[in-house]
Amino acid sequence: MAQAVKSPTTNRIHFASAGAVRRRRGEFNPRRREFNLALSVEHMDALWELCALAAYHPFGFSYTDEMSEVTKAIADRSSPAAIAACLARADIRERAIVRR
């Protein structure tokens, strides 16, 4: 599984599989599952909070405007076709879970 590595001197987070070659900032490579992302401090805080709530809050939560902004900014780095494929996969997964 990919590890998130944060440089102690910048607000850059690089998500990459072990041994992956770094790519240009903000570019996603779906085959290698790597993404080099630069975020503002405010966006980093909102993304961290969103991840913590998704991982540890048992009953769901409300999104803040900052959370919505950063998640949309990250999602918008992909093509419309990639977003549509992601939504289709999520829909299939959700229907399979509901049928159980």
Query: The dihedral of CA 53, 11, 79, 3: what is its sign?
Result: negative
Q: 82 Cβ partners below 8 Å, 6+ apart?
A: 30
pTM of the model: 0.54
Distance from C-alpha of 61 to C-alpha of 67, rounded to nearest angstrom: 11
pLDDT tens-place string over residues 56-86: 887 878 888 888 888 888 888 888 998 999 9
Q: 48 Cβ partners below 8 Å, 6+ apart?
A: none
pLDDT attached to residue 23: 43
Q: Domain extents for the chain?
A: 1-38, 41-100
Q: How far is CA 97 from the centre of its chain?
A: 22
